[in-house]
Amino acid sequence: MNDTPSTSHGAEASPLGKPVAYRDTYAPELLFPIPRQLKRDEIGLRADALPFVGEDLWNAYEVSWLNPRGKPVVALARFRVPADTPYLIESKSLKLYLNAFNQSRLADAETVRKTITADLSAAAGGAVAVELMLLAQRPQRHIGYPQGVCIDELDIAIDTYQPAPELLSAGGAAVSETLYSHLLKSNCLVTGQPDWGMVVVRYTGPAIDREGLLRYVVSFREHNEFHEQCVERVFCDILARCRPESLAVWARYTRRGGLDINPFRATRGAGSADEFDEVRQ
């Protein structure tokens, strides 16, 4: 596997915001990687000193190909992209790539899985884990909620709709708790389309002011940034302003184009994201 994807990163090569003719046969060149460091520079992150570990969990609901006799096979897919890979994969390009399998004849599901694994790993610049779940095998989805406190019912006035880390504060004795909100909304960096999500904050440290946290979550409402970048910004702002001993932040975004993206970032030893689907997904 090459460390640097062959795909061009220039704006002229991106499918973002442009009409695109759909391909229906295998076309790995459709994948469009974007360097993570471009936005990490904005929040002072160095690739060799990331304050978090984590992954981007993608769920794909529109995966299909043809078996050797031309009969369609349909599946769900799950991709896990490590947060320390140098590239994220633009979601429209991933949708186009997956749709390009629609009229491709492939030997079996394992061949498809290995093909997608190789292509996504090359695009991300690191090992991507791929799981396929055939609909014929009756896979199940688990809809749930975090084991914590939803802060959405706080009766507060809000007038800030661009990220405002100064709204965050914490103090007092250390606590261990999970806070979450369904009110996260940001916009695609290029198209401006809304991205809706639930954000979860699990931490140990001085108690985070809940009203300030809710105002901060809502402050992303007119902000243009990719899912992964929003979660990293939230993580870094809470880490800097509230100084928890341990911190995990993740979001579960509503699907768009047959895909949902669920970034997770945490200090080492802070555990993993809860494994369930948000009801809007």
CA distance linking residue 100 with residue 17, whole number of Å: 19
Q: For the chain, how are helix, strand and coil distributed in percent, rounded to 5?
A: 25, 35, 40
* DSSP letter, residue 135: G
Give the active site residue among 150, 152, 155, 188: 188
Active site includes 195? Answer: yes
DSSP code, position 238 = H
- CA distance readout (Å), 103 to 92, 95, 205, 210, 246: 19, 15, 53, 51, 48
Q: Which listed residue (119, 195, 260, 274) is catalytic?
A: 195
Across-strand partners of 78?
59, 131
Tokens of 216: 């901060």
SS3 82: strand
Give ∠ CA 196-94-218 in degrees, rounded to 5: 15
Residues found in the chain? 281
Please state, as a whole number, how many other Cβ atoms lie within 10 Å of the Cβ of residue 63. Answer: 22
Active site amino acids: 188, 195
